[in-house]
Structures are given as structure tokens and as C-alpha cells.
Amino acid sequence: MFFVPEFWVAVAFVVFVVLVFRKAKTIILSTLDERAEKIRRELEEAQRLREEAQALLAQSQRKQREALKEAEDIVAHARDEAERLRRTAETEMEEHIRRREAQAVDKIAQAEASALQQVRDMTVDIAIDATRRILTERMDERQSSALVEESIRELPKNLH
């Protein structure tokens, strides 16, 4: 058995495989650890961006409520003003009421348009964040890195 060349070839092969496996295992594990760390950092960044988006959404909703309250106050003020002016001069007040109501309607329309635009902007930001997360899950590392870099450069443009 010790004089058969196939036996020594088999022994050498087994020794070679064990040595290569030990070396390869170390390299593979370090590569996987690096990849896991990178994914962890990306998840933390995604979480931070999500929290920022939620804060911006809450701020936008607060501004929308304030705009609606202001619109209600404007309407109430316009009605009070119209009643007081009606008492002084009937004919003069009809024209004045028409002008004030038109102004109030314009301000309400502007406030609603502004609030709607803010909600749309936040919706776009949230959609972009969700898209970013989906893309990072479905892209390979090189594409993901390129997309993250591009998104970071465009982030100031999206934060109104």
C-alpha cells in the first residue's frame, strides 16, 4: 500500500485540498464580513433617510394644517368685514364684498395649492426613498454603489 503511487497521489491531493481550504476559508470569511458590514451601513443610512422623510412629512402636514387654519381665519375675517361694511352702505358694500370674497378665494386656492404641492413633494421624496431601497436590494454591489453616490449628490435638490 505505501509503495503504490496512487496512494501517495491521493494523500498529496488530500493534504493540498486541506491547505487550500484553510486559506480560502479565511479569505472567504473576511470578504463576507466586509460585505455584511457594508450592508449594515447601507441599512443604517436607509433608516436615517426614512426617519428624515418622516420628519419632513410631519412638518409638511403641520404646515398644511396651519395653512388650512389660516384659510379658515381669512374666510371668517372676510365675513366679519363684509357684515360691518354692509351696515354702512348697501350699494358700496356689495362691490366691496365681491372683491374681498374674490381675494379670500384666491388666498384659499393658493394655500390649498401650496399645501397640495408640499404633500406631492413629500410623496415624491418617500417614493424616491422606497425606490432607493428596492434598487439596493435588487442591484449588484457595483450598480448599488453608483446609484447611492448619484442619490447622495441629488439629495439637496430633493429637500425643498
DSSP symbols for 101-160: HHHHHHHHHHHHHHHHHHHHHHHHHHHHHHHHHHHHHHS-HHHHHHHHHHHHHHHHHH--
- Confidence band, pLDDT 50/70/90 cuts, at residue 55: very high
* Span 26-42, pLDDT tens digits: 888 889 999 999 999 99
Residue 93's pLDDT is 63
pLDDT at 62 over 70: yes
Integer Cα distance of 141 and 34 in angstroms:
12
Residue 8: is it exposed, middle or buried by C-beta count within 10 angstroms (0-12/13-18/19+)?
Answer: exposed
In whole angstroms, give the CA distance from residue 130 to residue 143. 17
Q: Which residues, 6+ apart, have CB-to-CB distance to 45 below 8 Å? A: 148
Domain ranges of the chain: 43-158
CB atoms inside a 10 Å sphere around CB 135: 14
Of residues 26 and 54, which shows the higher confidence score? 54
* Distance in angstroms (rounded) separating the CA atoms of residues 117 and 119: 5
Of 78-82, 86-90, 95-99, the least confident: 86-90
* pTM summary value: 0.34
